[in-house]
Chain A
Amino acid sequence: MALSPYLLLAAALFSIGVYGVLSRRNAIGVLLSVELMANAVNINLVAFSRAHGTALGQVFALFSIAITVAEVVVGLALVILLYRSRRDVLVDAASDLKG
Protein backbone atom coordinates (compact mmCIF):
# COMPACT_ATOMS: atom_id res chain seq x y z
CA MET A 1 0.00 0.00 0.00
CA ALA A 2 1.20 3.52 -0.81
CA LEU A 3 2.61 5.84 1.82
CA SER A 4 0.63 8.99 1.05
CA PRO A 5 -2.75 7.92 2.57
CA TYR A 6 -1.03 7.53 5.94
CA LEU A 7 0.57 10.97 5.65
CA LEU A 8 -2.76 12.52 4.63
CA LEU A 9 -4.49 10.88 7.61
CA ALA A 10 -1.78 12.19 9.94
CA ALA A 11 -2.11 15.69 8.46
CA ALA A 12 -5.88 15.59 9.06
CA LEU A 13 -5.44 14.44 12.66
CA PHE A 14 -2.82 17.14 13.27
CA SER A 15 -5.16 19.81 11.90
CA ILE A 16 -7.97 18.58 14.16
CA GLY A 17 -5.54 18.91 17.08
CA VAL A 18 -4.67 22.47 16.03
CA TYR A 19 -8.38 23.31 15.96
CA GLY A 20 -8.77 21.92 19.48
CA VAL A 21 -5.79 23.85 20.85
CA LEU A 22 -7.15 27.10 19.42
CA SER A 23 -10.80 26.67 20.39
CA ARG A 24 -10.75 24.97 23.82
CA ARG A 25 -10.93 27.19 26.88
CA ASN A 26 -10.24 24.55 29.49
CA ALA A 27 -6.51 23.89 29.99
CA ILE A 28 -7.06 20.13 30.10
CA GLY A 29 -8.93 20.35 26.81
CA VAL A 30 -5.88 22.07 25.33
CA LEU A 31 -3.66 19.27 26.65
CA LEU A 32 -5.95 16.67 25.07
CA SER A 33 -5.63 18.40 21.71
CA VAL A 34 -1.83 18.53 22.04
CA GLU A 35 -1.97 14.75 22.57
CA LEU A 36 -3.87 14.41 19.30
CA MET A 37 -1.15 16.37 17.48
CA ALA A 38 1.67 14.27 18.97
CA ASN A 39 -0.22 11.13 18.03
CA ALA A 40 -0.46 12.27 14.40
CA VAL A 41 3.32 12.77 14.32
CA ASN A 42 3.82 9.23 15.62
CA ILE A 43 1.71 7.85 12.77
CA ASN A 44 4.01 9.65 10.33
CA LEU A 45 7.13 8.24 11.98
CA VAL A 46 5.89 4.65 11.93
CA ALA A 47 4.66 4.97 8.34
CA PHE A 48 8.07 6.28 7.21
CA SER A 49 9.76 3.49 9.15
CA ARG A 50 7.76 0.94 7.19
CA ALA A 51 8.43 2.67 3.88
CA HIS A 52 12.16 2.59 4.52
CA GLY A 53 12.17 -0.92 5.92
CA THR A 54 14.33 0.03 8.92
CA ALA A 55 13.62 0.21 12.64
CA LEU A 56 14.79 3.80 13.07
CA GLY A 57 11.35 5.40 12.60
CA GLN A 58 9.87 3.12 15.23
CA VAL A 59 12.70 4.03 17.61
CA PHE A 60 11.89 7.70 17.05
CA ALA A 61 8.20 7.00 17.67
CA LEU A 62 9.05 5.31 20.98
CA PHE A 63 11.18 8.29 22.04
CA SER A 64 8.34 10.59 21.06
CA ILE A 65 5.81 8.59 23.09
CA ALA A 66 8.00 8.70 26.20
CA ILE A 67 8.64 12.45 25.88
CA THR A 68 4.93 13.13 25.35
CA VAL A 69 4.05 11.24 28.52
CA ALA A 70 6.60 13.35 30.45
CA GLU A 71 5.08 16.50 28.95
CA VAL A 72 1.58 15.47 30.04
CA VAL A 73 2.77 14.92 33.61
CA VAL A 74 4.33 18.39 33.81
CA GLY A 75 1.32 19.95 32.08
CA LEU A 76 -1.12 18.40 34.52
CA ALA A 77 1.00 19.52 37.48
CA LEU A 78 0.82 23.08 36.11
CA VAL A 79 -2.96 22.79 35.58
CA ILE A 80 -3.43 21.64 39.17
CA LEU A 81 -1.29 24.54 40.37
CA LEU A 82 -3.39 26.93 38.26
CA TYR A 83 -6.59 25.50 39.72
CA ARG A 84 -5.25 25.82 43.24
CA SER A 85 -4.43 29.51 42.85
CA ARG A 86 -7.41 30.61 40.72
CA ARG A 87 -10.16 28.00 41.32
CA ASP A 88 -10.62 27.56 37.57
CA VAL A 89 -8.55 26.25 34.66
CA LEU A 90 -9.74 28.50 31.84
CA VAL A 91 -6.71 29.48 29.78
CA ASP A 92 -8.07 32.87 28.69
CA ALA A 93 -8.94 33.83 32.26
CA ALA A 94 -5.37 33.29 33.50
CA SER A 95 -3.99 36.61 32.30
CA ASP A 96 -2.28 37.82 35.46
CA LEU A 97 1.06 38.24 33.70
CA LYS A 98 -0.46 40.37 30.93
CA GLY A 99 0.97 43.87 31.06
Chain B
Amino acid sequence: MMDQLAFGAVSAGLLLSALLVVSTRNLVHAVLWLAVTLVMTAVLFVTLSAPFVAGIQILLYTGGVITLMLFGVMLTRRQDGTRIEAEVSPGRRGPALLAAAALFGVLAGALSKTPKLGATTSTVTPTEAIGHSFLTDNVLAFELLSVLLLATMIGSIAVARRHDHAAETKPVGGRREPG
Protein backbone atom coordinates (compact mmCIF):
# COMPACT_ATOMS: atom_id res chain seq x y z
CA MET B 1 0.00 0.00 0.00
CA MET B 2 2.76 2.42 0.94
CA ASP B 3 4.57 1.32 -2.22
CA GLN B 4 1.65 2.30 -4.40
CA LEU B 5 1.18 5.65 -2.67
CA ALA B 6 4.86 6.50 -3.11
CA PHE B 7 4.79 5.38 -6.73
CA GLY B 8 1.70 7.47 -7.45
CA ALA B 9 3.17 10.60 -5.90
CA VAL B 10 6.54 10.23 -7.62
CA SER B 11 5.04 9.44 -11.03
CA ALA B 12 2.65 12.40 -10.83
CA GLY B 13 5.58 14.67 -10.05
CA LEU B 14 7.64 13.12 -12.84
CA LEU B 15 4.96 13.59 -15.47
CA LEU B 16 4.24 17.17 -14.37
CA SER B 17 7.88 18.24 -14.41
CA ALA B 18 8.54 16.46 -17.73
CA LEU B 19 5.61 18.30 -19.31
CA LEU B 20 7.01 21.58 -18.00
CA VAL B 21 10.43 20.74 -19.51
CA VAL B 22 8.95 20.56 -23.00
CA SER B 23 6.45 23.41 -22.66
CA THR B 24 8.17 26.22 -20.70
CA ARG B 25 9.13 29.15 -22.89
CA ASN B 26 12.13 30.20 -20.81
CA LEU B 27 14.95 27.75 -21.52
CA VAL B 28 16.65 28.25 -18.14
CA HIS B 29 13.42 27.25 -16.43
CA ALA B 30 13.21 24.20 -18.70
CA VAL B 31 16.70 23.12 -17.58
CA LEU B 32 15.72 23.53 -13.92
CA TRP B 33 12.55 21.48 -14.48
CA LEU B 34 14.73 18.81 -16.07
CA ALA B 35 16.75 18.82 -12.83
CA VAL B 36 13.50 18.23 -10.89
CA THR B 37 12.63 15.36 -13.26
CA LEU B 38 16.04 13.74 -12.79
CA VAL B 39 15.91 14.01 -8.98
CA MET B 40 12.40 12.49 -9.01
CA THR B 41 13.75 9.65 -11.14
CA ALA B 42 16.44 9.07 -8.51
CA VAL B 43 13.68 8.83 -5.89
CA LEU B 44 11.93 6.30 -8.12
CA PHE B 45 15.17 4.30 -8.30
CA VAL B 46 15.31 4.24 -4.49
CA THR B 47 11.74 2.86 -4.37
CA LEU B 48 12.88 0.26 -6.93
CA SER B 49 15.59 -0.76 -4.41
CA ALA B 50 18.44 0.48 -6.59
CA PRO B 51 20.16 3.03 -4.31
CA PHE B 52 23.51 2.91 -6.13
CA VAL B 53 21.96 3.84 -9.48
CA ALA B 54 20.06 6.62 -7.69
CA GLY B 55 23.31 8.01 -6.30
CA ILE B 56 25.01 7.90 -9.70
CA GLN B 57 21.94 9.55 -11.22
CA ILE B 58 22.22 12.47 -8.76
CA LEU B 59 25.99 12.77 -9.20
CA LEU B 60 26.21 12.59 -12.99
CA TYR B 61 22.87 13.89 -14.24
CA THR B 62 21.83 16.43 -11.66
CA GLY B 63 25.37 17.48 -10.87
CA GLY B 64 27.03 17.28 -14.25
CA VAL B 65 24.49 17.45 -17.04
CA ILE B 66 22.39 20.24 -15.52
CA THR B 67 25.46 22.38 -14.93
CA LEU B 68 26.60 21.79 -18.52
CA MET B 69 23.14 22.60 -19.87
CA LEU B 70 22.99 25.86 -17.90
CA PHE B 71 26.40 26.80 -19.26
CA GLY B 72 25.18 25.98 -22.75
CA VAL B 73 22.03 28.09 -22.39
CA MET B 74 23.96 31.05 -21.06
CA LEU B 75 26.77 30.81 -23.64
CA THR B 76 24.30 30.84 -26.52
CA ARG B 77 22.15 33.77 -25.38
CA ARG B 78 21.67 36.64 -27.78
CA GLN B 79 24.28 39.25 -26.98
CA ASP B 80 21.97 42.24 -27.51
CA GLY B 81 19.75 41.17 -24.62
CA THR B 82 16.65 40.30 -26.62
CA ARG B 83 14.98 37.11 -25.53
CA ILE B 84 14.78 34.35 -28.09
CA GLU B 85 11.10 34.29 -28.94
CA ALA B 86 9.14 31.33 -30.24
CA GLU B 87 11.19 28.60 -28.60
CA VAL B 88 8.33 26.29 -29.43
CA SER B 89 7.24 26.73 -33.02
CA PRO B 90 3.43 27.00 -33.06
CA GLY B 91 3.02 25.39 -36.47
CA ARG B 92 4.80 22.26 -35.34
CA ARG B 93 2.98 21.80 -32.06
CA GLY B 94 0.03 19.89 -33.54
CA PRO B 95 1.97 17.31 -35.57
CA ALA B 96 4.43 16.81 -32.69
CA LEU B 97 1.57 16.21 -30.28
CA LEU B 98 0.00 13.78 -32.73
CA ALA B 99 3.25 11.84 -33.18
CA ALA B 100 3.89 11.65 -29.43
CA ALA B 101 0.31 10.54 -28.73
CA ALA B 102 0.52 7.89 -31.45
CA LEU B 103 3.79 6.57 -30.03
CA PHE B 104 2.32 6.44 -26.53
CA GLY B 105 -0.75 4.64 -27.91
CA VAL B 106 1.41 2.01 -29.61
CA LEU B 107 3.54 1.48 -26.48
CA ALA B 108 0.57 1.31 -24.12
CA GLY B 109 -1.27 -1.04 -26.48
CA ALA B 110 1.73 -3.37 -26.65
CA LEU B 111 2.01 -3.22 -22.87
CA SER B 112 -1.65 -4.10 -22.34
CA LYS B 113 -1.33 -7.07 -24.72
CA THR B 114 1.71 -8.46 -22.91
CA PRO B 115 0.33 -11.50 -21.09
CA LYS B 116 1.84 -11.49 -17.60
CA LEU B 117 4.61 -9.32 -16.32
CA GLY B 118 5.91 -10.84 -13.13
CA ALA B 119 5.57 -8.98 -9.88
CA THR B 120 8.69 -7.18 -8.72
CA THR B 121 10.78 -8.83 -6.06
CA SER B 122 11.73 -6.79 -3.04
CA THR B 123 15.36 -7.86 -2.68
CA VAL B 124 17.85 -5.02 -2.69
CA THR B 125 20.68 -5.66 -5.17
CA PRO B 126 23.94 -5.14 -3.30
CA THR B 127 26.36 -2.66 -4.80
CA GLU B 128 28.98 -5.41 -4.60
CA ALA B 129 27.06 -7.40 -7.22
CA ILE B 130 27.08 -4.42 -9.59
CA GLY B 131 30.83 -3.94 -9.19
CA HIS B 132 31.41 -7.66 -9.65
CA SER B 133 29.39 -7.60 -12.85
CA PHE B 134 31.40 -4.62 -14.12
CA LEU B 135 34.71 -6.41 -13.69
CA THR B 136 33.76 -9.92 -14.79
CA ASP B 137 30.92 -10.34 -17.31
CA ASN B 138 30.90 -6.79 -18.66
CA VAL B 139 34.57 -5.94 -18.43
CA LEU B 140 34.90 -5.34 -22.19
CA ALA B 141 32.03 -2.83 -22.22
CA PHE B 142 33.47 -1.24 -19.08
CA GLU B 143 36.87 -0.70 -20.69
CA LEU B 144 35.31 0.48 -23.95
CA LEU B 145 33.37 3.04 -21.93
CA SER B 146 36.61 4.55 -20.66
CA VAL B 147 37.85 4.82 -24.26
CA LEU B 148 34.54 6.49 -25.16
CA LEU B 149 34.92 9.01 -22.34
CA LEU B 150 38.46 9.86 -23.44
CA ALA B 151 37.33 10.26 -27.06
CA THR B 152 34.43 12.47 -25.94
CA MET B 153 36.71 14.68 -23.90
CA ILE B 154 39.24 15.17 -26.70
CA GLY B 155 36.53 15.46 -29.36
CA SER B 156 34.48 18.10 -27.57
CA ILE B 157 37.56 20.21 -26.85
CA ALA B 158 38.63 19.91 -30.50
CA VAL B 159 35.17 20.84 -31.77
CA ALA B 160 34.44 23.75 -29.45
CA ARG B 161 37.81 25.45 -29.09
CA ARG B 162 38.46 28.72 -30.88
CA HIS B 163 40.74 28.26 -33.86
CA ASP B 164 41.90 31.85 -34.17
CA HIS B 165 40.93 35.34 -33.07
CA ALA B 166 38.74 35.90 -36.11
CA ALA B 167 36.77 32.71 -35.60
CA GLU B 168 33.69 34.58 -34.42
CA THR B 169 32.98 36.09 -37.80
CA LYS B 170 34.75 33.71 -40.14
CA PRO B 171 33.81 30.09 -40.75
CA VAL B 172 35.68 27.59 -38.63
CA GLY B 173 39.02 26.47 -39.98
CA GLY B 174 39.82 29.87 -41.39
CA ARG B 175 43.24 31.44 -41.66
CA ARG B 176 45.48 30.74 -38.74
CA GLU B 177 47.92 33.21 -37.39
CA PRO B 178 51.52 32.27 -38.08
CA GLY B 179 53.32 30.72 -35.14
Contact = CB atoms under 8 A, between A and B. Distances in A.
Interface string B68-79: 110111011010
A15 B111 contact: no
Contacts of B130: 55, 58-59, 62
A16 B65 contact: no
A94 interface: no
Interface size class of B (residues with CB under 8 A): 35 or more
A88 B120 contact: no
Given A26-B27, A69-B61, A84-B167, A59 B134 contact: yes
Contacts of A76: 68-69, 71-72, 156, 160
Interface size class of A (residues with CB under 8 A): 35 or more
Contacts of A85: 171-172
Interface in A34-92: 35-36, 39, 42-43, 46-47, 49-51, 53-56, 58-59, 61-63, 65-70, 72-74, 76-81, 83-85, 87-90, 92
Given A32-B21, A66-B145, A7 B117 contact: yes
B86 interface: yes
Interface in B31-77: 31, 34, 37-38, 41, 44-45, 48-50, 52-53, 56-57, 60-61, 64-65, 68-69, 71-73, 75-76
B87 A80 contact: no
Rank and list the top 9 A-B pairs by shortest CB-CB distance, nearest first: A20-B22, A22-B96, A19-B100, A15-B104, A11-B107, A77-B156, A23-B96, A77-B160, A70-B152
Given A28-B27, A56-B133, A2 B160 contact: no
A12 B93 CA distance: 17
Nearest to B41: A39
Nearest to A83: B76
A77 B41 contact: no
B3 interface: yes
Given A24-B87, A55-B125, A81-B172, A8 B108 contact: yes
A76 B68 CA distance: 8
25 contacts: A4-B111, A8-B108, A11-B108, A14-B107, A18-B99, A19-B96, A19-B99, A20-B21, A22-B96, A23-B92, A23-B96, A23-B97, A25-B88, A42-B41, A47-B48, A47-B120, A51-B117, A54-B125, A55-B126, A58-B50, A58-B53, A62-B56, A70-B148, A77-B159, A84-B168
